[in-house]
Amino acid sequence: MATIYVDGEQYEVNGSHNLLQACLELGLEIPYFCWHPAMGSVGACRQCAVKQFKDEDDDKGMLVMSCMSPAKDGTRISIADDEAEEFRQSVIEWMMISHPHDCPVCEEGGHCHLQDMTVMTGHDRRRYRFNKRTHRNQDLGPCINHEMNRCITCYRCVRFYRDYAGGEDLGAFGANDNIYFGRYEDGTLESEFSGNLTEVCPTGVFTDRTHSERYTRKWDMQFGPSVCHQCSVGCNISAGERYGEVRRIENRYHGEVNRYFLCDRGRFGYGYVNRDDRPLRPECPNGDGERRELDVDEALDRACELLRNAKGIVGIGSPRASLESNHQLKQLVGEDHFSTGLAGNEQACVERMRALNESCGLATPSLREIEQHDAVLVLGEDPIQSAARLGLSIRQAVLGRREELAEERGVPLWNAEAMKTLAQDQRYPLFTAYPQTTGLNGIVEQHWNLAPADIARLGFAVAREIDPDAPPVPDLDVSTRESAKLIAEKLLAANKPLLVSGGSLGSKAIIEASGNIARALAKRGKQEAGLSLIQREANSAGVEMLGGQPVEWALDRVLVGEADTLVILENDLYQRLATETLDAVFAKTPKLLVLDHQRTVTLERADLALSSASFAEADGTLVSMEGRAQRFFQVYEPRHMRPETRLHESWRWLHALAAERDKEPATDIVLDAVVRDCAERNAALAGIVEAAPDADFRISGQKLARSPHRYSGRTSMRAHLDVREPAPTRDPDSALAFSMEGYSGFDRPRQVVPFAWAPGFNSPEAWNKFMDEVGGHLRAGDPGVLLFRSADEVSDYSGEIPEAFVRGDDWQLTVLPRLFGGEETSSRTQPIIERSAPAHIAVARADAERLGLRDGDWLSLTGQFQALTLPATVNDQLPEGLVSVPAGLDPALITGARVSLSRIQLDEEVSS
């Protein structure tokens, strides 16, 4: 702690911070641009100038940049000093010289840090009378709009894009007052994290292009505090809605998970919520191949008829549906008739992952904790593709060496450029093993291109090197042993080694190998080490904890005649199993009752489809790969703008169904009741009640407002339907109100924050007001609750060591996860489709040369599934004998499958 004096007042602050951060934490306002809590200070914008005095007797003082000055004990500054104020006004005046002043048509307007800071400094008169400098804008792809004329040249964009996120295709060009931030030529920004530019940029240079078509000011949106459903990391998001459509996804600060940043799949992959073809009402086939819509009562009647007439019902849950919905399904069909909806191998992987998380002897780190690790081994995952936000944290961990070096040399940890200069390319060790290069390749110490079995063997060998009691790897070759020795040495030399693995390659052996390394590290006393296991879907962990049989079991019940009715919850089986498998089951003509928010192939086959709410219209709980149960809240009530819709949370449908079937009085159920019931019936999930405050939570007797207090048009936005304004929809499920009325401030601690706003801060910078310290935790504590329970004993080593991969006459298939196109729901969204690389079959260069294959040759892939024809790409990294395809093409393609390839000669006549 340090004592500093600001305008004569004495304050206690964290002495390791800079003065800007220290003052912001005290609630003192200093305008700023280039400083960012996650990226430190660079002193470029000069906006945060204050007057600093040498001592008590110094009445002259000198201007310093508060972001570049340490909050040393005894520091005396003045924010209110006339000269400082005048200078800060001048800085804005300079920045505005060439700014277009186009706020009315600028999409940043209303959540613009430049607007906020301009107001804060009081600059309101223009003196510059000459021509403005103008720039040409670029097409940066489907996600980001570019308007360089608005730039104030704070350099935040390139610092985030290049230094923080490792991107290479955005740079600073030019010099003097002609600095240009862009690509060397037009084209889609390549970084998986480009969307953060829209929040990092303090003005409207980079804005959300997906929002552009249906643009709404921040103050005119209704927000829901939500959790991203697009992977297992569990990033917190704030989804904004108007006129019954989701308009934008923004980062919602969580001090342990995503903090300030999201990946592009999470930010731009929401469009499936707005699709025109969504089932908005229950529907059923009308007998002539068409489908007809039903009202709720009729749908429930039909559903009950289906259930009552059934001779054996099986419920199929889903890892992309909430715990509550899965729980209600399990209650409806009974524990013995419930499937998790996970494919068998997937479920086995998830089960093993939880077992390891709870009993390998190491903790499961949060993303924030991951960034504190000082050696990383990634086995069988490309985190940038499978859990992108986690990959970004691994990058920060590896770059953390900068901080160690800075501390050695007395460079303050906020002095970003100085740390970069000092460290250069010195990083903490990162080792990766994967069938081909990964998104972390730029920062690895060593990478191995290996077949899945060999990745597992390398892992087992590392465990053995760390602890001689770990089982030996049979027939281990010298080079793998040397590699294992190197990795083991580096992991043991680190204070906090981190293992990252997961189920992306569908290999239990890889997971077990990571488990053995974890156990070995635990036994060697590396208690600070961590194990992070990546799962595929948003609620994979939750549905596994709820318990149930894999989906193949459910289908077998139909095949063996034990069941003739399937209740399928938010699960497109055609995304999980081969078409042939499913066709065989459906040939038995089981009755299908499908609940979903997307028009999937499965839903189209349903005898009755119930229109479920997507995350945007629903409340529920997800359990992330970290075991963190997090509640997501409804963003908007769909019937408000579209009265014809009949969208309900699946758990609400399923409750009504159960009540109807059991002829109980059809009372509505509320979220808290489902949560409590789920917690009571499942010991492992007992904690979920605490994942968020219940619906009775109030601040000063008020519910929490979903909309900013400046929300406009409430009385007229439904005028095309009815000139009378209905009362706002009541929300019985949460402490949130579908209204601008209610609490929306920052000063009373709360976990449930639909949107961040504080007086003077309309931009995302307002989040800093909600934290205990800037970049720290929400003052009310970060939302969610950790469910994994560490066992007292470290579990025994696994001895399931696979044999080394040997290439045969056929090929071994690997299916590689991909951020864009590799996940079901986001893949139904246009910008994600545009960013998905074209599907291809990758063949190792040596194999391609042997076969005379070239890029673009058409290959037919055959195995235990329908043949697939795709163009070839020759891959320099892939081990010989392996072919790879990207995830999301066909669920029949499974890593490890033996396949054959044949070249297709396109028929000239037909093709012409």
Q: How far apart are CA 271 and CA 772, in angstroms?
A: 34
Q: How far apart are CA 657 and CA 299, in angstroms?
A: 9
CB of residue 57 to another protein, shortest distance in Å = 20
CB of residue 323 to another protein, shortest distance in Å = 49
**Which of the residues 453 through 512 are near another protein (CB under 8 A)?**
none
Task: Please identify, using beta-carbon distances, which residue of 127 and 720 lies nearer to another protein.
Answer: 127
Task: Please identify, using beta-carbon distances, which residue of 87 and 215 lies nearer to another protein.
Answer: 87
Interface region with another protein, contact rule CB under 8 A, candidates 198-206, 293-301, 420-428, 770-778: 420-428
Task: Please identify, using beta-carbon distances, which residue of 80 and 791 lies nearer to another protein.
Answer: 80
If we measure between CA atoms, which residue out of 218, 215, 216, 234 comes closest to residue 226? 234
Task: Please identify, using beta-carbon distances, which residue of 63 and 486 lies nearer to another protein.
Answer: 63
Interface region with another protein, contact rule CB under 8 A, candidates 264-272, 366-374, 416-424, 834-842: 416-424
For 452, the 3-state DSSP assignment is helix
Binds another protein by CB under 8 A, chosen from 60, 127, 663, 724: 127
CB of residue 516 to another protein, shortest distance in Å = 37
**For residues 827 and 837, is the Cβ–Cβ distance under 8 A?**
no
**Contacts (Cβ under 8 Å, ≥6 apart) of 907:** none
CB of residue 96 to another protein, shortest distance in Å = 9
Give the per-residue contact string, 335-354, with another protein (x = CB under 8 A; - = no): --------------------
For 126, the 3-state DSSP assignment is coil
Give the per-residue contact string, 257-276, with another protein (x = CB under 8 A; - = no): --------------------
Task: Please identify, using beta-carbon distances, which residue of 172 and 559 lies nearer to another protein.
Answer: 172
Q: What totals of helices (H) and strands (E) does the chain contain, helices first?
A: 28, 35
Task: Please identify, using beta-carbon distances, which residue of 415 and 630 lies nearer to another protein.
Answer: 415
Interface region with another protein, contact rule CB under 8 A, candidates 421-429, 430-438, 539-547, 570-578: 421-429
For 256, the 3-state DSSP assignment is coil
Residue with tokens 């994994």: 788
Binds another protein by CB under 8 A, chosen from 424, 479, 700, 912: 424
DSSP secondary structure letters along 792-816: SSPPPPP--PPPPP---SSEEEEEE
Task: Please identify, using beta-carbon distances, which residue of 178 and 286 lies nearer to another protein.
Answer: 178
Task: Please identify, using beta-carbon distances, which residue of 181 and 811 lies nearer to another protein.
Answer: 181
Give the per-residue contact string, 24-63, with another protein (x = CB under 8 A; - = no): ------------------xxxxxx-x------------xx
| DSSP letter assigned to residue 706 | S
Question: How far is the first Cα of the chain from the last one, in angstroms, to the nearest whole number?
Answer: 77
Q: Is the dihedral of CA 476, 480, 482, 485 positive or negative?
A: negative
* Residue 415 in contact with another protein, rule: CB under 8 A: yes
**For residues 271 and 209, is the Cβ–Cβ distance under 8 A?**
no
> Alpha helix locations (H) across 467-571?
478-493, 508-523, 540-546, 551-559
Q: How far apart are CA 864 and CA 284, in angstroms?
A: 33
Binds another protein by CB under 8 A, chosen from 152, 356, 609, 685: 152
Binding residues with another protein: total (CB under 8 A): 45
* Residue 128 in contact with another protein, rule: CB under 8 A: yes
DSSP secondary structure letters along 852-880: T--TT-EEEEEESEEEEEEEEEEESSSPT
If we measure between CA atoms, which residue out of 856, 873, 785, 812 comes closest to residue 366? 785
CB of residue 161 to another protein, shortest distance in Å = 15
CB of residue 357 to another protein, shortest distance in Å = 39
Binds another protein by CB under 8 A, chosen from 38, 148, 411, 659: 411
Task: Please identify, using beta-carbon distances, which residue of 217 and 402 lies nearer to another protein.
Answer: 402
**Which of the residues 161 through 200 are near another protein (CB under 8 A)?**
172, 174-179
- Chain-centroid distance of CA 404 in Å reads 29
| DSSP letter assigned to residue 761 | B
Helix or strand run (H / E) with residue 640 = helix 638-641
Interface region with another protein, contact rule CB under 8 A, candidates 151-159, 234-242, 378-386, 845-853: 151-159
Task: Please identify, using beta-carbon distances, which residue of 163 and 607 lies nearer to another protein.
Answer: 163
Torsion of CA 651, 652, 653, 657, to 10 degrees: 100
Task: Please identify, using beta-carbon distances, which residue of 67 and 887 lies nearer to another protein.
Answer: 67
CB of residue 191 to another protein, shortest distance in Å = 20
Task: Please identify, using beta-carbon distances, which residue of 46 and 628 lies nearer to another protein.
Answer: 46
* Residue 400 in contact with another protein, rule: CB under 8 A: no
If we measure between CA atoms, which residue out of 455, 475, 472, 456 comes closest to residue 464? 472
CB of residue 16 to another protein, shortest distance in Å = 16
Binds another protein by CB under 8 A, chosen from 189, 370, 423, 740: 423
If we measure between CA atoms, which residue out of 288, 278, 296 comes closest to residue 608? 296
State the pairing for strand pair 704-705/222-227: unpaired
Task: Please identify, using beta-carbon distances, which residue of 65 and 378 lies nearer to another protein.
Answer: 65
Instruction: Write out the E strands in 393-528.
Output: 430-434, 446-449, 497-502
Interface region with another protein, contact rule CB under 8 A, candidates 118-126, 406-414, 450-458, 642-650: 406-414
Task: Please identify, using beta-carbon distances, which residue of 424 and 912 lies nearer to another protein.
Answer: 424
Task: Please identify, using beta-carbon distances, which residue of 61 and 760 lies nearer to another protein.
Answer: 61
* Residue 851 in contact with another protein, rule: CB under 8 A: no
Q: How far apart are CA 408 and CA 131, in angstroms?
A: 49
Q: Which amino acid is at 912?
A: S
For 143, the 3-state DSSP assignment is coil
CB of residue 60 to another protein, shortest distance in Å = 12
Q: How far apart are CA 508 and CA 453, in angstroms?
A: 10
What are the percentages of helix, strand and coil residues in the chain, rounded to 5?
Answer: 35, 20, 45
Binds another protein by CB under 8 A, chosen from 23, 68, 378, 787: 68
Q: What's the Rg (C-alpha) of the chain?
A: 28
If we measure between CA atoms, which residue out of 142, 5, 132 comes closest to residue 74? 5
**For residues 751 and 692, is the Cβ–Cβ distance under 8 A?**
yes
CB of residue 72 to another protein, shortest distance in Å = 13
* Residue 421 in contact with another protein, rule: CB under 8 A: yes
> Residue 757 is encoded by which pair of tokens?
């706003």
Task: Please identify, using beta-carbon distances, which residue of 175 and 478 lies nearer to another protein.
Answer: 175
Give the per-residue contact string, 78-107, with another protein (x = CB under 8 A; - = no): ---------x--xx--xx-xx---------
CB of residue 910 to another protein, shortest distance in Å = 53
> Residue 253 is encoded by which pair of tokens?
């600060």
Q: How far apart are CA 415 and CA 404, in angstroms?
A: 13
Q: In angstroms, how far apart are the furthest CA atoms of the chain?
A: 93
If we measure between CA atoms, which residue out of 144, 228, 156 comes closest to residue 834? 144
Task: Please identify, using beta-carbon distances, which residue of 172 and 851 lies nearer to another protein.
Answer: 172
- Chain-centroid distance of CA 707 in Å reads 24
Interface region with another protein, contact rule CB under 8 A, candidates 124-132, 184-192, 266-274, 555-563: 124-132
* Residue 422 in contact with another protein, rule: CB under 8 A: yes
Task: Please identify, using beta-carbon distances, which residue of 175 and 910 lies nearer to another protein.
Answer: 175
CB of residue 33 to another protein, shortest distance in Å = 9
Given the rule CB under 8 A, which residues bind another protein?
Answer: 42-47, 49, 62-64, 68, 87, 90-91, 94-95, 97-98, 127-130, 133, 152-153, 155, 172, 174-179, 405, 409-411, 415, 417-418, 421-424, 426
